[in-house]
Amino acid sequence: MAFERGWKIAVIGAGSWGTALADLLAAKGHDVTLWVREEEVFRQIRDQRRNDVFLPDVSLCPDLRPVRSFEEALEERELVVLVVPSHVIRGVLADMRPHIRQGMDLVTGTKGIENGTLMTVSEVVGEELPKQDLHRMACLSGPSFAREVVRRYPTAVTVACPDGEHAQSLQGVFSTETFRVYASQDIVGAQLGGALKNVIAIGAGVSDGLGFGHNARAALITRGLAEITRLAVSMGANPHTLAGLAGMGDLVLTCTGELSRNRTVGLKIGRGESLEGITSGMNMVAEGVKTARSAYELGRKVGVELPITEQVFRILYEGKVPSEAVRDLMTRELKVELEH
C-alpha cells in the first residue's frame, strides 16, 4: 500500500475534526500547520500538545504546528484542508484568499449546505476562490468520529474529487494503517450525503428521546437514506455513492453513535429541552441544525420530497411538537418502497 509522506499541508480549523486530521497527518510524517481561531486553544496546543476545548484527554503529535495567521498557515503549503463549520466557511475563505496560491490543492472536511444560497461547500469555494481548479477540489467524507480517529481506531472514509487520478493521489496522502481512504469521483453525492445525514441524525435522536425504540430508529435511518439519495441523484450524484461510506456509512454512525452531536441535539429535544437551551450549552457545532433549514429549502427548490427533513425543520424552526411530527410521518399517504 502506497502511503505518501512529506507533504506541506495546512489544516484550517482546530475544532475536534480539524485537530484530529491535523494530528493524523503530522504523526504520519507530513509538515502540518494548524490554523487556530481561539487564542486559548492555540496556546494549549502550542504549550501542552492538547486541545481540551474541542478534543479533551488526547495528547497531540509534537510535530504539529499551531498558528494564528493565515499568512503563516498557508506559507509554502501544497495542500489545504478546510475544516471549519459550514456557516462560517465563506468568511474564512475570503480571509484566506490573499494567501492562496494558484495550484494549491484543496480538500474540505466540512459537512453542510450554506443557508440562503443552498450551495455545497465546493460551490462556495468556487465563488470565493475563483482562480482555483475546481476539477481538483476534493472532499473527505464518511463515518469518522474525531475522537476515534485521533486514538487510531480503525476508520474508513472516502475522498471524492471530479479528477479521478487526483482522488487516488489524495488517498496516499491521507491513508495510514488505521485510516483507510477510498477514492471516488462523485463529489456531489459525497457532499450531500455528508450534509444531510446530520439532519436525519437529529430525527433519530428525537425518536430515541421519545423512547420509541429500535424499530423506529431503523425506519428513520432507512427512509432517511432514501430521501438523501433522491435529492442527491436529482442533483447529479451516483446513487451508489449513497450506499457507501459517504452515505449509508456516515448516516448509520451519526444516527446511532453516542459521540454524535446531532443525535444528541435530537435526543434532548425528544426529552423536552429547547433548541436554544441545547445549543447554548454546546461548545461544538451540530451542523444538522443549520443544514435542516437549507436542506428543506433545497428540496422545495428542486422539487424533491424530503419528509423526514421537513419534519426535523418544523420541529427546530416552527416549534412543532415532536410526537406530532412522528404522527404526521407515520400517517402520510402510503407509497411503494422502491421507485423505478
C-alpha cell at 285: 457545532
Query: In the beta sheet, which residues pair with residue 155?
Result: 179
Pairing state of beta strands 155-160 and 79-82? unpaired
By C-alpha distance, which of 100, 47, 44 is closest to 70?
100
Within a 13 Å sphere around the CA of 43, how many CA atoms are in the beta-carbon half?
3
DSSP 148-216: HHHTT--EEEEEE-SSHHHHHHHHHHH--SSEEEEEES-HHHHHHHHHHHHHHHHHHHHHHHTT-HHHH
- Active site residue ranges: 197
C-alpha cell at 247: 452515505
Identify whether the C-beta of residue 93 lies closer than 8 Å to the C-beta of residue 124: yes
CA separation for the pair 248, 228 (Å, rounded)? 10
Strand, coil or helix: 305: coil
Burial of 19 per CB tally in 10 Å (0-12, 13-18, 19+): buried
